[in-house]
Amino acid sequence: MNDEPTPLERDGPREGRRRRGRGIRARVALTFVVLLALSTLVSVLALRALLHSRLADRVADTLAEEHEQFDREKASLPNDASLEGSLQALLRENPPGQDEGLFAFVEGRLVEQTFTGPSPLILAREEIAALGRGTARRTGEIPTAIGPLAYDASAVEVGGERGMLVATNSLIGERAEVDESVLAAGLVGTVVATLAALLAVLAAGRVLQPMRQFQDVAAAASESNLSLRIPVTGDDEFNDIARHANAMFERLERAFGVQREFINDVGHELRTPITIIRGHLELMGDDAEDRQETVAIVLDELNRMTRFVNDLLLLTKAEAPEFLRLETIHLATFTEELATKARALAPRAWRLDCAGSGIIVADRQRLTQAMMNLAQNAVEHTKDGDEIAIGTASSGGEARMWVRDRGSGIALDAQQRIFDRFSRAGAGRLHGEGAGLGLAIVRAIVDAHGGRVELVSSPGEGSTFTIDVPSEPPSRKSRRRREVASPSAEHASR
């Protein structure tokens, strides 16, 4: 099949689709017709050859029979009987069958003949005469104008006289009968093959029915309607394909939805600072104090936008293989650094639960960023003086890091999507870090390390975010393979 789109197919998907649909059906039908015609032809020819060969065998048997007959009768002949007389008696008493001929020779001279059908002597006088002059048994066929003439010539001997008895069969009538039967069989075969081909065309249409539905849905999908599904009606291969395709459409639809939502969210998130900047600039008065205030607000909003855009870029980059800059990190000193940096975020009762020991290979800057985002998130869910604890531990090839707060906690339904982009656990714009990308960045960083991030929280009692990363991140290839192997693992870690 030629998959290159022809200019006609490029004109419009609808036209191309119809053409392809009919093409398969026509090809199936044509294949069936050719196969059936070939098999009918071959079987008719084979039947003819078989029947002809059997006919030849039977004829040979009948011809041999004539000699056996003579040998049997020779025993009952009177002693003084001559060869010529005996042969004449044999021929008279045994009338030939259809298309048979019997020729008796004594010393090369034809003494008696009987036959039915066309005369063998007219057809092959010379050859029969030559057989009559022979002395040993010979069998075979003589080609003649109307077909082969089978013969069986054998020597006979009575009272010292020698002669030949030649039996022939022209096979013409028998062959005609065989050919008539074969022709009839061929006719029946042709009719049956034609009917079968018609049924095959219908069956091909039926079999291809789901294919057409598939085409309709796929064409609609390519015209941006992703909500259609192929009807699944059974358990065969087509329905298998349909199920897979439906799953694919579902994922596409979801992905497009997520993308639309994402862009909507980005727009919303950028619009607020833009509105603030524009509003303040429009209302800026002439006095120096007002100007100073406005410039401060505008710069702050611009910084916020910059951070937001950087976060978006980071989330995109996190999917690229060269995202991580790995180095050896001593867990104990790393924990100290984390605690120091966290204290600078906001006035809270910061605690260090415990610091793990040993080294891990990871991206120090990104891991720090992830932990700071968690700390910032904890700050946003607590008030001045509330306790927030940071800790790390290492065990069995894994490093664990956590941020624990006794703040407002996170509602159960919000916990499900807290690591999604723009899923703030509350309405309104958060002040400080964020546009709801902080925890999405945490997950992206942890995913890049081949680790997991988990949340345990109950409203009113606070939350604990835990990051588990392997001491050495698996190579990107094997990590991808694992993701493909268990797509549900991602959900489980949320």
Partner 1 sequence: MSRILIAEDEPRLALFLEKGLRANGFTTKVVGDGVGASALARDEDFDLLILDIGLPGKDGFTVLREVRGIGQRLPVLILTARDDVSDTVTGLEGGADDSSPSPSRSRSCSRGCASACVARGARRPR
Closest approach, Cβ 275 to partner 1, in A, equals: 5
275 binds partner 1 (CB under 8 A): yes
Q: How far is the CB of 257 from partner 1 (least distance, A)?
A: 15
Q: Find out whether 439 and 419 touch, Cβ atoms under 8 Å.
A: yes
Please choose, out of 9-17, 26-34, 179-187, 266-274, the segment that lies near partner 1 by the rule CB under 8 A. Answer: 266-274
Instruction: Provide the minimum distance between the beta carbon of 266 and partner 1 in the complex, in angstroms, as a whole number.
Output: 12
- Is 54 a binder of partner 1 (CB under 8 A)? no
Least CB distance to partner 1 at residue 468 (A): 34
Which of 264, 416, 458, 475 forms a contact with partner 1 (CB under 8 A)?
264
Q: What is the 3-state secondary structure (H, E, C) of the chain?
A: CCCCCCHHHHHCHHHHHHHHHHHHHHHHHHHHHHHHHHHHHHHHHHHHHHHHHHHHHHHHHHHHHHHHHHHHHHHCCCCCCCHHHHHHHHHHHCCCCCCEEEEEEECCEEEEEEECCCCHHHHHHHHHHHHHHCCCCEEEEEEECCEEEEEEEEEEEECCEEEEEEEEECCHHHHHHHHHHHHHHHHHHHHHHHHHHHHHHHHHHHHHHHHHHHHHHHHHHHCCCCCCCCCCCCCCHHHHHHHHHHHHHHHHHHHHHHHHHHHHHHHHHHHHHHHHHHHHHHCCCCCHHHHHHHHHHHHHHHHHHHHHHHHHHHHHHCCCCCCCCCEEEEHHHHHHHHHHHHHCCCCCEEEECCCCCCEEEECHHHHHHHHHHHHHHHHHCCCCCCEEEEEEEEECCEEEEEEEECCCCCCHHHHHCCCCCCCCCCCCCCCCCCCCCHHHHHHHHHHHCCCEEEEEEECCCEEEEEEEEECCCCCHHHHHHHHHHCCHHHHHCC
Q: Which of 427, 492 has the CB closer to partner 1?
A: 427
Asked if 429 is part of the footprint of partner 1 (rule: CB under 8 A), the reply reads yes
Least distance from partner 1 to the Cβ atom of residue 457, Å: 19
- Mark residue 32 as left, alpha or beta (left: phi above 0; alpha: psi -120 to 50; beta: remaining): alpha
CB of 437 to partner 1, least distance (A): 18
User: Stretches 169-177, 305-313, 420-428, 441-449: which one binds partner 1 (CB under 8 A)?
Assistant: 420-428
Q: Which of 385, 396, 428, 460 binds partner 1 (CB under 8 A)?
A: 428
Angle at 313 between CA 249 and CA 381, to 5 degrees: 95
Residue 267 C-beta: closest distance to partner 1, Å = 8
B/e letters for 93-107, b = 16+ CB within 10 Å, e = fewer, are ebebbebbbbbbbbe
Among 272, 368, 423, 466, binds partner 1 (CB under 8 A): 272
Instruction: Work out whether 427 is an interface residue with partner 1 (CB under 8 A).
Output: yes
Looking at the Cβ atoms of 383 and 480, the one nearer to partner 1 is 383
The CB-of-406 to partner 1 minimum distance in angstroms stands at: 22
Q: Which is nearer to partner 1, 234 or 428 (CB)?
A: 428
Judged by CB under 8 A, which stretch of 26-34, 91-99, 278-286, 328-336 contacts partner 1? 278-286
Least separation in angstroms between CB 327 and partner 1:
40
Task: Determine the size of the site formed for partner 1 (CB under 8 A).
Answer: 18
Residue 58 makes contact with partner 1 by CB under 8 A = no
Pick the piece of the chain touching partner 1 (CB under 8 A) from 57-65, 172-180, 274-282, 457-465.
Answer: 274-282
Six-digit token string for 44: 């008719």
Interface with partner 1, residue 296, by CB under 8 A: no
Q: Which is nearer to partner 1, 273 or 462 (CB)?
A: 273
The span from the CA of 169 to the CA of 150, in Å, is 5
**Nearer Cβ to partner 1 (175/421):** 421
Stretch that binds partner 1, among 140-148, 216-224, 280-288, 392-400 (CB under 8 A): 280-288
288 binds partner 1 (CB under 8 A): no
Tokens of 426: 């509350």
Q: Which is nearer to partner 1, 5 or 426 (CB)?
A: 426
Binder of partner 1 out of 280, 307, 406, 494 (CB under 8 A): 280
The nearer residue to partner 1, 58 or 268, going by C-beta atoms, is: 268
Q: Which residues bind partner 1 (CB under 8 A)?
A: 264, 268, 271-272, 274-276, 278-280, 282-283, 297, 301, 426-429
